[in-house]
Amino acid sequence: MTTDSRKVGKGSLYIAIRGGSADGHDFIAEAADNGAAAAVAESSWMKDNPDPGIPVIAAENTRRAASRLFAAWYCGEGWDAGAVNTRLVAVTGTNGKTTVAHMISHILSYAGYKTGLIGTVGASLGGKNQPDARTYKSRYTMTTPPPEEFYDVICDMIRSGAEYIVFEASSHGIAQERLSGLDVTGAELAAAVFTNLTPEHMDYHAGMEDYFAVKCRLFTEYDPEIKIINTSDGYGERLFSMCGGRKISVKTAGGGGDSVYPHGVMMLGAAGVEYMYSSPGAIFPINCPVPGRYTVYNSIEAAAAALSLGVDPVTVRDALSSFRGVRGRMERVRCDTTKFSPHVFIDFAHTPAALSGLLKSLREAEPSGRLVLVFGCGGDRDRTKRAVMGKIAGESADLTIITSDNSRTERAEDIIAEILRGVPAGADFKVITDRTEAINYAIMNATARDVIVLAGKGHENYEDSGGVRRRFDEREVVAAAIEERYSRLGGI
């Protein structure tokens, strides 16, 4: 069974999907020539193609059909959906999905539950003292994987005894019906978390209202048992009013009333954050060793979700105090072989809101030195954010080094030119197109009190340019640059 006509073999079921650049229905004849036993096509296509030369099953929406078919395929013969006790937790929003999902998974694992995690930085299954913990190697880089992988992993986790599966639900994943087969597995959508909504993926969605409508589907159409919503966000406030059933309002700013909110927030620099979790049902301290104000927002949403699922406050507190962060999310990079090691952070921030929040958090965490930013924008993606991010960088960083970041099929120089349109007059910036050279420049010219942040790539270990991916891990580049700096300048 496949959605790719090139992978069809004798006896295959080919599912025709309408994509952004190609229509899978155009390849039904090719699939038949390659030996397909049958195809799945949309009903509207069938009306105009009554005799396609191959048995065809009509579906109103073939993306939805694909998800349900793959779920059924991986469940396998004899699967008893009614006997499945696995509970699902979905996290959606523009920024913070990955960190919140990892925090929830960490708390549930710390509480002793066997917990699966699926998201941007991969998939894993384990728990506290679990001898059969495992990781799943992905063929994809998508936040919510396509159904042929998503349901393969979910069904394996269920078979392996997962009590919870936490996953990131992207707007692409929801819009493209990747969640439509969840009910086939029998797993229950116990909770969903909404973090925030800011402009992103405007190359895919018709506008912010369309983007918002897609996110809403997770809470209305899929109707999780518990809805945890950041109502400090304007879109979150609207979503909260639309939802019925059990729902929890999380205020990341302000608070009181029936809301969950952080009280007495203290920024502890590189040591993390501290605050009181305050709600009508529980008040207790949280100390999380990940720096930045966004850690407050992410951790209180994760804590609210875990508490709603029955984890006790002491366990939530202790779990968050042992949380060490997520690869590529406010990740501190150190070089232990030299005496000189500036504060270097790697973060996935690739939207205006994420970049702004990141720079504000780092300014609060380490206010005494210069804030040096190295960043670029991805090619073949939303072009409207490039100048906006240039403006944010110029206003928020003491020095901005504009460079490449997965230019894909665009010229890196053209992307940089669009970023530069937003950089305000008087801002201190440099253009160094090669990302390795840009990182080297930042480190070779840093002082021990400077904070250097490499934004945009995060967990990625590749650079995509000219349609070719090559290995590129910023951690290795940073370590080599610090070693070089130390050997040439003696740590000065």
**pLDDT tens, residue by residue, 338-366:** 566 678 999 999 999 889 989 998 887 77
Token representation of residue 213: 């409508």
Mean pLDDT to the nearest integer, 12-24: 92
pLDDT given for residue 359 in this prediction: 94
pLDDT given for residue 270 in this prediction: 74
Please identify, among 261, 290, 321, the residue that sits at the C-terminal boundary of a domain: 321
Question: In this structure, is residue 373 part of a structural domain?
Answer: yes
pLDDT given for residue 52 in this prediction: 81
Residue 313: domain span: 69-321
* Domain match, 230 and 119 both: yes
* Domain match, 373 and 484 both: yes
Question: In this structure, is residue 49 part of a structural domain?
Answer: yes
pLDDT given for residue 492 in this prediction: 53
CB atoms within 10 A of CB 350: 23
pLDDT given for residue 363 in this prediction: 86
- The DSSP code sequence of 144-213 is S--HHHHHHHHHHHHHTT-SEEEEE--HHHHHTTTTTTHHHHT-EEEEEEE----S--TTTSSSHHHHHH
pLDDT given for residue 343 in this prediction: 84
Indicate the number of domains in the chain. Answer: 3
Residue pair 158/81 in contact (Cβ under 8 Å)? The answer is: no
Buried b (16+ CB within 10 A) or exposed e, 31-48: bbebebebbbbbeebeee
CATH number of the domain that residue 441 is part of: 3.90.190.20
pTM for the model? 0.84
Q: What is the Cα–Cα distance from 492 to 204, expressed in whole angstroms?
A: 48
Mean pLDDT to the nearest integer, 111-138: 88
Question: In this structure, is residue 414 part of a structural domain?
Answer: yes
Question: In this structure, is residue 287 part of a structural domain?
Answer: yes
Q: What is the Cα–Cα distance from 91 to 75, expressed in whole angstroms?
A: 24
Token representation of residue 3: 């959605």
**Closest C-alpha among 323, 348, 335 to residue 453:** 348
Q: Is the confidence at residue 102, as pLDDT, over 60?
A: yes
Q: Is the confidence at residue 12, as pLDDT, over 90?
A: yes
User: What number of CA atoms fall less than 13 Å from residue 105's CA on the CB side?
Assistant: 26
**Closest C-alpha among 256, 89, 257 to residue 157:** 89
pLDDT given for residue 91 in this prediction: 98
**Closest C-alpha among 364, 339, 352 to residue 394:** 352
pLDDT given for residue 187 in this prediction: 98
Q: What SS3 state is found at 419? A: helix
Question: In this structure, is residue 29 part of a structural domain?
Answer: yes
Residue pair 273/290 in contact (Cβ under 8 Å)? The answer is: yes
Q: Is the confidence at residue 248, as pLDDT, over 60?
A: yes
* Domain match, 345 and 200 both: no
Share of the chain above pLDDT 90, in %: 76
Please identify, among 321, 356, 389, the residue that sits at the C-terminal boundary of a domain: 321
pLDDT tens digit string along 143-173? 899 999 999 999 999 999 999 999 999 999 9
Q: What is the Cα–Cα distance from 12 to 5, expressed in whole angstroms?
A: 10
pLDDT given for residue 337 in this prediction: 61
pLDDT given for residue 334 in this prediction: 75
Q: What is the Cα–Cα distance from 315 to 306, expressed in whole angstroms?
A: 10
Q: What SS3 state is found at 286? A: strand
Question: In this structure, is residue 230 part of a structural domain?
Answer: yes
Mean pLDDT to the nearest integer, 326-342: 76
* Domain match, 95 and 212 both: yes
pLDDT given for residue 203 in this prediction: 72
pLDDT given for residue 339 in this prediction: 62
pLDDT given for residue 42 in this prediction: 96
CATH number of the domain that residue 16 is part of: 3.40.1390.10
* Domain match, 246 and 364 both: no
pLDDT tens digit string along 386-396? 999 999 999 99
| Signed CA dihedral, 213, 214, 215, 218: sign only | positive
Residue pair 275/263 in contact (Cβ under 8 Å)? The answer is: yes
* Domain match, 195 and 314 both: yes
* Domain match, 115 and 246 both: yes
What's the pLDDT band for 30 if we cut at 50, 70, 90?
very high
Amino acid at 313: P
Share of the chain above pLDDT 70, in %: 97
Secondary structure percentages of the chain, helix, strand, coil, to 5: 35, 25, 40
Cα end-to-end distance, the chain, whole Å:
61
Q: What SS3 state is found at 253? A: coil
Give the sheet arrangement for strand 13-15, strand by strand: 13-15, 38-42, 56-59
pLDDT given for residue 49 in this prediction: 85
Q: What is the Cα–Cα distance from 87 to 78, expressed in whole angstroms?
A: 20
Mean pLDDT to the nearest integer, 446-457: 91
**Closest C-alpha among 299, 282, 302 to residue 108:** 302
Mean pLDDT to the nearest integer, 373-383: 95
Amino acid at 289: P
Q: What is the Cα–Cα distance from 245 to 36, expressed in whole angstroms?
A: 45
User: What number of CA atoms fall less than 13 Å from residue 195's CA on the CB side?
Assistant: 27
* Domain match, 281 and 355 both: no
pLDDT given for residue 277 in this prediction: 97
* Domain match, 47 and 97 both: no
pLDDT given for residue 31 in this prediction: 94
Question: In this structure, is residue 326 part of a structural domain?
Answer: no
Mean pLDDT to the nearest integer, 62-67: 98
pLDDT given for residue 206 in this prediction: 79
Question: In this structure, is residue 199 part of a structural domain?
Answer: yes
* Domain match, 146 and 198 both: yes
Please identify, among 301, 321, 341, the residue that sits at the C-terminal boundary of a domain: 321
pLDDT tens digit string along 214-235? 999 999 999 999 999 999 999 9
Q: What is the Cα–Cα distance from 358 to 373, expressed in whole angstroms?
A: 10
Which residue has tokens 């669009």? 418
CATH number of the domain that residue 103 is part of: 3.40.1190.10
* Domain match, 238 and 313 both: yes
Amino acid at 48: D
- Pick the range with the lowest mean pLDDT from 106-115, 253-262, 278-287, 403-412: 253-262
* Domain match, 44 and 193 both: no
* Of 333 and 50, the one with more pLDDT: 333
CB atoms within 10 A of CB 475: 17
